[in-house]
Structure 1
Amino acid sequence: MDVLELARLQFAVTGSLHFLFVVLTLGLAPLVAIMHTRWALSGRPLQERMTRFWGQIYVINYALGIVTGLVMEFQFGLSWSGLTHYAGDVFGAPLAMEALVAFFLESTFLGLWIFGWGRLPKWAHLACIWLVTATAYASAFFIMVANSFLQNPAGAVLSGGRLELTDFGALLTNEALVFSFPHVLGAGLFTGAMVLVGASAYQLRRRTADVEFFTRSLRIGVVTASIGIFLTMGFGYAQFAGVQEGKFQSGTPGLIPLGFMTEGGNLLALVVLFFMLPLIAVLPRWRWTHPILIALTPVPFVMAILGWLARELGRQPWMIWEKLTVADAMSPQLTAGMVTASTIGFVAVLGMLAIVDYVLIARVIKRGPDDVALGAAAEQRSPALSY
């Protein structure tokens, strides 16, 4: 492999590993916020336990996932300085907004939510998790703004050999963004919900004592997953119109089959979930369905990666569609040895974080809701300080 192929491989592998964390974060955040809302309104201990348990899984995934995002930032400076020079004034703006939202606002509100149990007023504490969700979605929005600019460079003109932003509104209403952003949000809901489904089915199959807890979680997961996969498929197929028109996708061999394979997998999951929806009342008691639901848990992660491959391969050989090639976007001083060494380092770090993430999540799921660190300190304080 030459240096360009190595650089592309590096970004593909690290980007895919990072997105595994992102898609789960986008799915779990609103589910945890809804659970917390139901607890704040009802005051039921069961709703509190659900909020703490699934919130613990969210916190683990977020804490490790945010580190993987730093690696993505390093790669732009290390391997793609040509992109920064040519379009940094445009492409860098949404990335900077994402950094402000994700690394500052989202982290701040999440910290307040984590350490606010029993300390913050009830509604202020609830507001924190909804602000976490809002900033997570805002972060995804700005990332998709940047990516959509690569697909369709709207709102910018060439001046002095560099792209300059002339219409910020066009950047935010890019035709490549209109369908792709809801598509990603739907994929996130599908992923987060299937984690609820798989974990709940695992516990119910083990004949857990927390039958009501995981029965409710399973039902929430199946309904949410059905909504998420429906949105994913709808907006996913809508993006094929752009492929046919050739506005922001090329005819890279294999793109269309890969895209339809991805949507075909989504369709299969949709059929399975909708088949189970009418049976949701008895589903938790049917142990033969539990292995099926557990086996479906990794499906959204696989589909998410295949979807990104379809989107990114469709732009080749362009980094910015019909403006800048991938070869010209690469840093000129790179050598194959440099890229190989950095790839080994990046993949080792991200791979380790991914393994640690899923091991920790698996341990939390296996232990169940009675041994959760999130909010545990609040139980030791005076009842007058908690709610």
Structure 2
Amino acid sequence: MDVLDLARTQFAVTGSLHFLFVVLTLGLAPLVAIMQTRHALTGKPVFERMTRFWGQIYVINYALGVFTGLVMEFQFGLSWSGLSHYAGDVFGAPLAIETLVAFFLESTFLALWIFGWHRLPRWLHLACIWLVTLTAYASAFWIMVANAFLQNPAGSEVRGDRLALVDPGALLSNPTFVYAFPHVIGAGLLTGGLVIAGASAFQLSRRHPEVEFFTRSMRLGTLVAAVGVFVTIGFGFAQFGPIGGLQPGKFDSNPLSGLSLGLMIMAGELLMLLFMFLLLPLIWWLPKWRWTHPIVILATPVPFVAAILGWLTREVGRQPWLINGRLTVADAMSPGLTPGMVGASFAAFAGLLGLLAVIDYVLIARTVLRGPAATFLGAPEEPHAADRPSPALTY
């Protein structure tokens, strides 16, 4: 394998591993916000416990996912400096906004939410988790704007040996963006909802004593996942029109792209049929009918697989272009790279991200197995010894 193929494979592997964290984050954030909203409106303790339990899983996934994102950013400078030189003024703008605004705001509001339990007023604390959700979606918005530019360099023109941004409106209304962004959001809702439904089905199949807790969680997860699967499939098929006009032959000229597309469509249709004919019609009885639980559990990994297939379909089919029609992958590579250098960084990055993914899923699985009683997020603090009343002296 030459240096170009090594660099491409490195980015594909690390990008796929990073997206596993992202798609779950985008799905869990609004679900946790909905749970806390229900607690704020009703005052029922079960909704607070649901918020804390599933929120803890969200925090685990978010914290580990941050490191994978840093690796992705590092690769642009390491392997693809030609992209920064040629299109940095355009491609770098949405990435800078995502990092400096959306990501930092998301991290700030998440910290306020994590450490604000029993400290902030109820409605202010609730506002924090909704702001976490909105900034997470804003982060995805700007990332997809940058990616859509690679698919179709709208709003830019060549000036000398570089691209310059001349029409920000065209960049934001890029046809390869307006349908892709809702598609990604739908995939996130599908993934987050099905993870909650699958974990709840697992605990109910074990006859966990927290029946009401996991019954409510399973129904909410199933409902949100159903919304997600229909949004994902609808906006997925809506992309064929713009892609056919801007990138004809995208799915025919590279075998991996066509295979990924076929498998992704198959997975989406399988999930749509599952929700349409089983999960949604039986949503009220799902927690009670144990024969449905293995089906939900087995369906839980499918959105993750479909997400990776979708990413590969979108990226591989554009080859040999990095910026469609403007900059090839070969021209975007950093000069002076050798197979040994890229191979070493590939092994380091893939090993690190793979390890983080394993740690993430192990921690999530352990949290699910321990159940709500072991949740530490938002637990009331015990008073310090100095603050406790002294026991009465007896003689």
* TM-score class normalised by the smaller sequence: over 0.9
Residues 56 and 63 of structure 1: CA distance in aligned 2, closer, same or farther (over 3 Å)? same
Contact 1:151–1:249 (CA<8 Å) still a contact in 2?
A: no
The one-letter code matched in structure 2 to 1:7 is A
Q: For 1:101 and 1:352, locate their aligned partners in 2 and report how far apart those are by CA, in whole Å.
A: 29
Q: Does 1:156 align with 2:159?
A: no
Q: How does 1:180-259 map to 2 (within 5 A)?
A: 180-247=180-247, 250=250, 251-254=252-255, 255-259=257-261
How many residue pairs were aligned? 382
2:254 partner letter: P
1:6 aligns with 2:9: no
Whether the 8 Å contact between 2:103 and 2:135 is mirrored in structure 1 is: no
The counterpart of 2:314, out of the listed 308, 311, 316, is 311
> Does structure 1 retain, via aligned residues, the 8 Å contact 2:23–2:187?
yes
Partner residue of 2:294 out of 291, 294, 315: 291
Deviations 1:330-364 (A, max 9, x none): 11111100000001110111011101100000011
1:377 is paired with a residue of what secondary structure?
coil
* Partner secondary structure for residue 194 of structure 1: helix
Alignment match, 1:262: 264
Q: Deviations over 1:86-111 (max 9, x none)?
A: 00000000111111234411100000
2:100 is paired with a residue whose SS is: helix
Task: State the Cα distance separating 1:236 from its structure 2 match.
Answer: 0.6
Which one has a bigger Cα radius of gyration?
2
Q: Distance in 2 between matches of 1:171 and 1:377?
A: 47
Which one of the candidate residues 283, 301, 305 is aligned to 1:302? Answer: 305
2:331 equivalent in structure 1: 328
Partner secondary structure for residue 278 of structure 1 = coil
State the TM-score, normalizing by the size of structure 1: 0.96
**How far off is 1:160 after superposition?**
1.1
Q: CA 1:182–1:380 in 2, change beyond 3 Å: closer, same or farther?
A: farther
Residues 49-100 of structure 1: CA distance to partner in whole angstroms, max 9, x if unpaired? 0000000000000000011100001000000000000000000001111112
CA distance in 1, matches of 2:245, 2:103: 37
1:248 deviates by 7.2
Determine the C-alpha separation between the residues in 2 that align with 1:366 and 1:214: 12
Partner SS for 2:280: helix
Which of 93-102 and 156-165 deviates more? 93-102
Say if 1:249 and 1:172 are closer, same or farther in 2 by CA, change over 3 A: farther
**1:31 aligned residue:** 31
**One-letter amino acid of the structure 2 residue matched with residue 57 of structure 1:** I
CA distance in 1, matches of 2:248, 2:106: 31
Preserved contact between residue 176 and residue 248 of structure 1 (Cα < 8 Å)? no
The structural deviation recorded for 1:43 is: 1.1
1:155, 1:169 within 8 Å by CA — same for their partners in 2? yes
Over aligned residues, Cα RMSD in angstroms? Answer: 1.4
Q: Is the 8 A contact 2:187 2:232 kept in 1?
A: yes
1:117-175 CA deviation, whole Å, 9 max, x = no partner? 01001111001000000000000000000000000000000001100000111111111
Q: What is the distance in 2 between the residues matched to 1:220 and 1:308?
A: 27
**Deviation per CA, 1:188-215, whole angstroms, max 9, x where unpaired?**
0000001001100000000010111101
State which drifts further: 103-112 or 236-245.
236-245
Correspondence for 2:49:
49
Q: Secondary structure at the match of 1:292?
A: helix
Deviation at 1:291, TM superposition (A): 1.0
Indicate the SS of the match to 2:372.
coil
Q: Distance in 2 between matches of 1:63 and 1:237?
A: 33
Distance 1:157 1:296 in 2: 46
Counterpart residue number, 2:40: 40
1:278 to 281, 286, 301: 281
Q: Percent identity?
A: 67
Whichever residue aligns with residue 113 of structure 1, its letter is W
Aligned-residue offset at 1:259: 1.5
State how far apart, in whole Å, the 2-side matches of 1:350 and 1:296 are.
24
1:378 positional shift: 4.7
User: Are the counterparts in 1 of residues 103 and 139 from structure 2 also a CA contact under 8 Å?
Assistant: no
Contiguous gaps of at least 5 residues in structure 1: 383-387
User: TM-score, normalization: structure 2?
Assistant: 0.94
Residue type at the aligned position of 2:232: T
Q: Per the alignment, do residues 249 and 212 of structure 1 end up closer, same or farther by CA in structure 2, a change over 3 Å counting?
A: farther
Matches for 1:10-159 after TM superposition, within 5 Å: 10-159=10-159
Alpha-carbon deviation of 1:245? 2.3
Please, which of 363, 368, 389 is the counterpart of residue 365 of structure 1? 368
